[in-house]
Chains A and B, each alone.
Chain A
């Protein structure tokens, strides 16, 4: 039998004692190494379940059980509660899997929903303050163009082609000179068909004189001719306009320009637009803070 008191009294005890300590430490370490860490089995108070250590609130569980069954929680059966809990666990597992798969990075729908949710939080406060009538009127005045009725026009587009069409190899300069002469005659009251025949003008095919809405006229006439036509009044003829296919003369037969709607007539839309604009402003402010606090680096190349 070892005489520990003797051993400890020996001069070598400065070695023996650390050795004993080391042996005990090794035993404890070995025990810890070869025994799995104890699982956290107790569900914390206030939770109904833990799913990978993520808690499901007891309150949420009760509310969902009640909502799904349409009964007060106290009246639900054990089977109904179990079904609800299993559904909630499944949902939690799927969400956790989604996070693990980094769905916000790869899936457009998830990104859209997350962006919308953050924006909704940013503009939540703005919804609590209803606008005044004065604010709505000011908004309407500042954005009258949005509340305009669509204009209509009946216009003819006469064309002097250049570069080898009906009237041969006429140059653009020659066509412009002819167009000025034709314009003079038309304004003097000469019949349109007679002038067309004399100068070789043809209908361009972009406008046939039928009544069309402005957006349709813009589509057909193109962005160069439409603004000129839109500025003409009934019976007016435009100056010659050079376009890719030749020189054009626009004859406005009837013009109904866009009209700004009365405030009363568009009040619901003004209200909706105003509320949306306030929300957008709040969202933009929140975004500017995010930008301010973010580290954004842009690679040289396409945008620099």
Chain B
């Protein structure tokens, strides 16, 4: 049976429509694939730029910084927040320092120094980690008596400008500088402002990683401190570590929000 001409014309039009629709679908798919590819290439370029840009200049590019922060946020949440807190304010119970207070135990807080800490950690038993020394247990080892430690605590309170016993603080100061006893000045310095090569904190500030009352000071001097942090090299790739360093730097400088 032969269809009438009008019906045939309609069938042809329907076939053409299907062909056009198919072509349009293919074009859209190609366009989508192209855009996806372009996005991936762009991302790859940014990862590469993140690593190849000098760490002193890496914060100057707004796009790069935004990219790094967007990639670093989930990494921080999964790798760092457990100790340093989601808000980066640290955790005194763990001795994990505040990362946004502009005081740095190790290094000067530059992207490069933060990256070094992230790469190799602190006292992580990797030879490249920050591991020059740690806070000795002056009481447990018998190097200082309880009275000497109490006096030293009073001196620390005096340094911080807090209420203290003046006579005991004077005795404590002598212990602080006594080469044969505490010799605190060797690491914390004559002015007690710390040494970031050793991870010795500034004792004149209100920044205390384990607490800021006399009891905590006493315990730190009596039992010592051996804070550690894992190195992430091998667990995270170099670009991820750079992104994290940039993120922490940006937060510490108030460039980025959490």
Contacts and interface: CB of A to CB of B under 8 A. Distances in A.
B52 A62 contact: no
Nearest to A122: B125
A130 B142 contact: no
B47 interface: yes
A60 B47 CA distance: 19
Contacts of A128: 123, 226-228
Main secondary structure of the interface of B (DSSP, over half): loop
B224 interface: yes
A74 B239 contact: no
Interface in A246-267: 264, 267
Contacts of B115: 59
Contact of A130 (B56, B143, B226): B226
Given A45-B238, A46-B239, A124-B124, A264 B142 contact: yes
B116 A63 contact: yes
Contact-residue size bin, chain A (C-beta under 8 Å from the other chain): 20 to 34
A130 B239 CA distance: 36
Nearest to B225: A130
B59 to A, nearest CB: 15
Interface residues of B, number: 29
B163 to A, nearest CB: 28
Contact of A57 (B48, B143, B238, B239): B238
B119 interface: yes
B51 interface: yes
Contact of B142 (A73, A121, A271): A271
Given A121-B125, A124-B125, A45 B137 contact: no
A242 B131 CA distance: 60
A271 B141 contact: yes
B231 to A, nearest CB: 11
A131 interface: yes
A76 to B, nearest CB: 13
Interface in A209-237: none
A105 interface: no
B234 to A, nearest CB: 12
Given A74-B56, A127-B226, A271 B125 contact: no
Contacts of B119: 57, 59
Contacts of A62: 55, 112
A136 interface: yes
B125 A267 contact: no
A255 B123 CA distance: 50
Interface string A38-74: 0000000110000000000111101100000000011
Interface string B196-222: 000000000000000000000000000
A112 interface: no
Contacts of B141: 267-268, 271-272
Contacts of A272: 141
B51 A133 contact: no
Contacts of B56: 74
Interface core residue of A59, A271, A272 (most chain B CB under 10 Å): A59
B39 interface: no
A62 B52 CA distance: 13
Given A74-B56, A267-B142, A271-B141, A45 B116 contact: no
B242 interface: yes
A120 interface: yes
Nearest to A130: B223
A130 B238 CA distance: 34
Contacts of B242: 46
Given A130-B224, A267-B141, A271-B140, A46 B238 contact: yes
A139 B187 CA distance: 31
A117 B127 CA distance: 9
A245 B8 CA distance: 131
B128 interface: yes
Nearest to B95: A128
Interface string B235-250: 0001100100000000
Interface in B174-208: none
B140 A133 contact: yes
A45 B239 contact: yes
A121 B125 CA distance: 6
Given A45-B238, A57-B238, A267-B142, A130 B124 contact: no
A267 B228 CA distance: 26
A69 to B, nearest CB: 15
Nearest to A264: B142
23 contacts: A45-B47, A45-B50, A46-B51, A46-B238, A46-B242, A59-B112, A59-B115, A59-B116, A62-B112, A117-B125, A127-B123, A127-B226, A128-B228, A130-B137, A130-B224, A130-B226, A133-B140, A136-B140, A267-B142, A268-B141, A271-B137, A271-B140, A271-B142
Interface of B: 47-48, 50-52, 55-56, 112, 115-116, 119, 123-125, 127-128, 137, 140-143, 223-224, 226-228, 238-239, 242
The 6 closest A-B pairs by CB, nearest first: A267-B142, A45-B51, A46-B238, A130-B223, A124-B125, A46-B51
